[in-house]
């Protein structure tokens, strides 16, 4: 399937806006004291992205595909891929009547995703043993904060 210029433009615009929304919303959440011990920014982004994709899929995917490409694929794809994972899992249950496969998708995605990330981090630490730097959206813990 060849993408048209319009599709590429819609994906690019939606993805750029979604990526910026993720960055600035995540940064805003991470600045709050109540996010110190839980990755609330990522959690909130994943949940709101899933909500948005759920809202976009029904009115746009079949009736207004350009809007779905812009908002559902572009924006939500730039904002979070978790939203697509959630939608595909729901569709395994609802459209394809495969709750077992939906459960396998959830468990396998989470477990295998964490395992391969862990292995990649361990492998990269062996290749480049520098101490890790905090992630862009991490908030410094109390042990690194200076007294006023």
Terminal C-alpha separation, the chain: 59
**8 A C-beta contact, residue 53 and residue 76:** yes
Return the pLDDT at 32: 84
pLDDT at 2: 82
Average pLDDT over every residue of 113-120: 88
Instruction: For residue range 64-82, list pLDDT tens digits in order.
Output: 999 999 999 999 999 987 8
pLDDT tens, position by position, 13-39: 999 999 999 999 989 988 887 777 777
Say whether pLDDT at 49 is over 70. yes
| Burial of 122 per CB tally in 10 Å (0-12, 13-18, 19+) | exposed
Mean pLDDT (the chain) is: 85
- pLDDT for residue 136: 55
CA 118 to chain centre: 18
Alpha-carbon torsion angle 11, 12, 13, 17, nearest 10: 100
The interaxial angle of helices 40-60 and 5-30, nearest 10 deg, is 150
Determine the pLDDT at residue 134. 58
């Amino acid at each position: 399937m060849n993408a048209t210029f319009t599709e590429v433009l819609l994906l690019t615009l939606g993805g750029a806006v979604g990526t910026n929304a993720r960055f600035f919303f995540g940064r805003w959440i991470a600045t709050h004291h109540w996010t110190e011990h839980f990755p609330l920014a990522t959690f909130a982004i994943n949940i709101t992205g899933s909500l948005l994709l759920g809202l976009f899929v029904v009115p746009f995917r079949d009736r207004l595909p350009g809007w779905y490409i812009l908002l559902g694929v572009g924006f939500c794809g730039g904002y979070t891929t978790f939203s697509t994972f959630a939608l595909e899992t729901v569709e395994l249950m609802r459209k394809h009547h495969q709750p077992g496969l939906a459960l396998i998708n959830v468990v396998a995605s989470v477990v295998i995703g964490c395992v391969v990330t862990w292995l990649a981090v361990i492998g990269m630490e062996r290749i480049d043993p520098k101490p890790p730097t905090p992630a862009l959206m991490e908030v410094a813990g109390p042990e690194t904060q200076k007294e006023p």
